[in-house]
Structure 1
């Protein structure tokens, strides 16, 4: 049962955040909250000691501190900042966190360049009323960075301690 939670909650939240940001330019607080609650429940149950859990939470607070500053200066949306912090709790201070952050930066940069090109194209002009593309075509909205966060999170997730535990358990069954 715990393996199922670990295999489903994080990927679902990342996919939901990406789609939600694409369609509405928002990432609901409940996504970040669900990630935090699921980690708080699962981490002790897989045998993480309090020091390890504390280091994972510290990673989340460090990322939240940086992203809060970026939000305050207008460089990042609030939903993106909270999602990054909640996701960092799952990664802890590990190479997977670096992989996640670098992946999000690279994918986010590529996404930004693609969106700018799309907005300045004829296709962007004619797709302004399409429910799936309207936020990508609108020159007055930002970039739905949740897409990059979701994809990068999914790519780095197999390296997290929780996922490693779940995979080891499933391999032993």
Structure 2
């Protein structure tokens, strides 16, 4: 029960991060910290062996190193580079590649959509809440892609599978 509540809160915060990223092109530090810190009570109540928890920590550490290398080369923004390791804590190594693949596809689709809209529509006609990514030379709100990756791969996570099963469109 508690794990389901914590998992639901984590997923809701991922959606909030995506929406915030669309609106402001940033993911706040407090949000990424909350995503990571929520893992601690989830790990405690999960009853999973230390080896599995260690695998989740190792996956997050690898994601941290890679994401910050990509941040250093201006591939990701700082908020994205912080959100990915926080998310990997919850997902773990068993679904890492599924998450990365879904995130990459979603990120590419977001970038294509943004380019298409920029070429075909004046930014002034877009609602203010979603206008930021469509401004000339604005970045891609990659928090959307990260959140999509979480929902695609999350069913394979021992921390998120229960809550995702309760959402009807995830089976």
TM-score by length of 2: 0.88
Q: How many residues align?
A: 165
Coordinate RMSD, CA, aligned: 1.9
Are 1:6 and 1:166, in contact at CA under 8 Å, matched by a contact in 2?
Answer: no
Tell me which residue corresponds to 2:168: none
TM-superposed CA distance for 1:7, in Å, is 3.6
Tell me which residue corresponds to 1:29: 29
The answer for unaligned runs of 5 or more in structure 2 is 166-171
The answer for unaligned runs of 5 or more in structure 1 is 169-173
After superposing on structure 2, the runs of 4+ consecutive aligned residues of structure 1 that deviate more than 6 Å are none
| 3-state DSSP of counterpart to 1:162 | coil
Cα deviation code 1:31-87 (max 9, x no counterpart): 221121111111121112322222111101101101101101111101011111100
| 3-state DSSP of counterpart to 2:48 | coil
1:100 lines up with 2:110 in the alignment: no
For 1:19-168, list aligned pairs within 5 A.
19-94=19-94, 96-121=95-120, 123-127=121-125, 130-164=127-161
TM-superposed CA distance for 1:167, in Å, is 7.6
In structure 2, distance between residues paired with 1:3 and 1:50? 17
TM-superposed CA distance for 1:149, in Å, is 1.0
TM-score by length of 1: 0.87
Are 2:154 and 2:164, in contact at CA under 8 Å, matched by a contact in 1?
Answer: no
Are 1:60 and 1:85, in contact at CA under 8 Å, matched by a contact in 2?
Answer: yes
- The farther-off stretch of 134-143 and 1-10 is 1-10
- Pair 1:4–1:73, CA change in 2 (3 A): same
Are 1:46 and 1:165, in contact at CA under 8 Å, matched by a contact in 2?
Answer: no
